[in-house]
Chains A and B, each alone.
Chain A
Amino acid sequence: MSAVTDLAVERRYRAASAVRRRTNFVLFLGPAIALTFLFFVIPVLIDIAVSFTDLDRTLRISKFTTEQYQKVFRGDSRLPQVIGLTVVYVFGTLAIFNVTFGLVLALTTTSLNKVSGGFFRGVWLLPRMSPSVLYILLWLWVINPSDVGLLNQFLMPALGLARPLDLMTSAPVALIIIANGFIGASLGMIIFTAAIRGIPEHLFYAAEVDGAGTLAKIRFITLPALRWPISFVTIYQTLSLLVSFEYILLLTKGGPFYDTTVFALYVYRRAFTSGQYGYGAALALFLIVIGAAAALLGWRFFDFKRLLQHPRIEVH
């Protein structure tokens, strides 16, 4: 009798547990799954469907076709230049600003006292906090190719220049890397700062006792501790830089000529400026594939599986 009761109790417990698991699943993963479907899966499906049509400037479809893909592979002579520029832009911004400069900012601001460090971090967060249009308007004033431009007001007398500098024409790629990098650096700065603050202080004291200087402490204590944050920032910012183009559009409109037209902006120019929506959708699909491939490669390369595995708790 007792065994039967126990069995019933256990069954009830299992049933309740299954219900709780399902409820938890819906409660905790449901919103994320719904959002992923709404803002990723469904748009991708729509994009795939549109890429097999001739949707043009009138937003009408007259036939289903594969000609957009033929154009991507055979007919578009701009693509090699656009892809090359995208590689330079993504890795340039990432290497110079989003990781390296972010790290430098984190190291320098954490070595200052709390108030000064916080102040400088706040200053470097300003570009990210500013509305994009305002931020770019300031840039346009700074680089204005006449003597009223801020940069020219300083550089013309200092360097004795007869004509004002025109960075938009002479160094447009550097310009978009710097303008984007000033924003991107702040994310790395915040994450690296948090990680540096998480390093147990006794390690630094011990190193000092052993005679380590500042550079040695950075090399042997700080940088090894920042491996995972650096990996995360690299992957996250790679994906972000691949698909975002609003600052470039506002600053250079992708020009002069195609000099600053990165892949995502190229998709926009084809679809929304030229009205070739079908072709734009085909190009966008490649961007999605490239983004997914970059994420998977990063996952593999940086061994993210280890980062996300269950921590081993020491039991004393």
Chain B
Amino acid sequence: MRHVKTAMAALLLAALGGGSAAIFVSAPAPAQTTVKLELWSRQDPSGPLRPANVVKAADRLNKELAAEGSGKRVKVAVHESPAPGFDDDALQLLKVFGIGQGPDLFIAAHEWICAFQQEGFALKLDDYIAKYPQYFTTIFPSLWQSVKCSDGIYGIPQDAEARMFFYNKKLLREAGYDDAFIEAMPARTLSGELTMDDVIDIANRVINKAKAQYGILHRPNKGPDYIMAFQSYGNNFLDPGTGKLLLERDKLAAAFGWFERGVKQGVIPANNTSMEFDALRKAFYTGNAAFWMYGIWDLGTYAFPTYGLPKDEAGFFADWGWIAAPPAKKGGQAGSLTHPIIYAVAARVADPELAVRLLGHASDADLNTDHAVTTTHLGIKSEQLKDPRYAGAWPLARATELLKITKFLPNNPQFGDLNGIIYTALQGVETGRLSGQQAADFVVDEATSSLKDVIVK
């Protein structure tokens, strides 16, 4: 943090009048200090207001400081990282902190926060949050779980979203499913009637009877969405007692088995992991795939502006829809995944109070709603629900329904690395290099040899 001192000379106002020699001297104004805070943020088209809101928050904080009579002022400099994803970004930032450099504030995916905490790079925020409740009390309590590490809170939730299985109703109708079946899918999933294997069956019928090449598509790189399928098969990856990573071989094999069956039936393309994001999105949104495993924000970022899907609720749900991640067996619990992005403060920040207050303003309901409605992310505060703009953004209201059953990725410092291993194994299964069981063995083998403190069952 750099302090730029602007010396304000005390002004002497001398008034000489009527021959009197009276001299009036004003009280000296406090010397103004500008505190420059650097914010690390990855260039991300899905959330340009994440850093922009912090820049705007500086104006609000400066007004607050002026009203308090403080001589401090805050200036935010944004460092934009070109990392292609949040995992690469976090790895890069860990290195930057490791060599004693780095920003004062940073934006990260929540599952990485404990990696920063473990290395002593992130500031523990419990005391500051307690000291400034006005900024933070209305943040949804469940979201704080996403920023908790073993000894406390190390981040401030910036947004949330819901991950789901989008589906193309037109293709299902073409495949012979009636409207009653299609419209009941979301409710049947939530009640545990529709299972993961049913999704494969539906997708199978679509590729055989409708004009569609693909049944189910998922992201082509490491990320959270396919983890929903693993959660459906009971993989939570975290031992609740110790907080260590937990791998259960049978449950892993069952989840990989689902992908294996999908590929064998021609429903999941064997080359899904080597396809481009754009090609996958195009395939789904132009009617060439039945299901797309992704997040609600994809609607605002790509589906509406790029592929011209109807922006109105009725128009959208006429031909498109989504279901939660179905359970593995009938009667099981459906699931969803939310992947909050968070603000965090570097441990080395010189003025932590100012940094936390700045992020407090960046979390203001109106600023957060700007981000939510423009990028289809879920808000973080209860008062946002009353904002007409938020209430009018139907994808947010509809996706919020999934928050009741949502889960987070484990907040374990090594989960990012484990997810890389899981993704590699997934690629092995889909390209026919590994069976479901071999993939489970691969994950256990790789994780136990390259990660620390992994519990295997």
Contact = CB atoms under 8 A, between A and B. Distances in A.
A268 B205 CA distance: 43
Interface in A167-220: 168-169
B395 interface: no
Interface residues of A, number: 25
Contacts of A57: 91, 94-95, 98
A58 B94 contact: yes
A75 B434 contact: no
Interface stretch (B190-198, B379-387, B420-428): B420-428
Interface stretch (A3-11, A36-44, A272-280): A272-280
Contact of A58 (B119, B417, B427, B430): B119
B273 interface: yes
Given A166-B270, A168-B271, A257-B434, A146 B119 contact: no
Interface string B419-448: 010001001101101100000000001100
Contacts of B286: none
B274 A145 contact: yes
A298 B97 CA distance: 45
The B contact surface, by secondary structure, is: helix
A257 B449 contact: no
A309 interface: no
B274 A274 contact: no
Contacts, number: 67
Contact of A256 (B94, B274, B279): B274
A169 B98 contact: no
Given A71-B449, A169-B271, A256-B273, A59 B98 contact: yes
Contacts of A255: 273-274, 424, 427, 431
A2 interface: no
Given A166-B270, A168-B274, A276 B450 contact: yes
B427 A256 contact: yes
A60 interface: yes
B282 to A, nearest CB: 10
A257 B94 contact: no
A191 to B, nearest CB: 36
A166 B427 CA distance: 15
Nearest to A279: B450
Interface of B: 91, 94-95, 97-99, 119, 121, 270-271, 273-275, 279, 417, 420, 424, 427-428, 430-431, 433-434, 445-446, 449-450
Interface of A: 57-60, 71, 75-78, 145-146, 166, 168-169, 252, 255-259, 273-276, 279
Given A78-B446, A256-B427, A275-B94, 6 more contacts: A169-B431, A255-B274, A255-B431, A256-B430, A258-B424, A276-B450
7 contacts: A59-B98, A77-B449, A168-B274, A256-B271, A257-B424, A259-B431, A275-B94
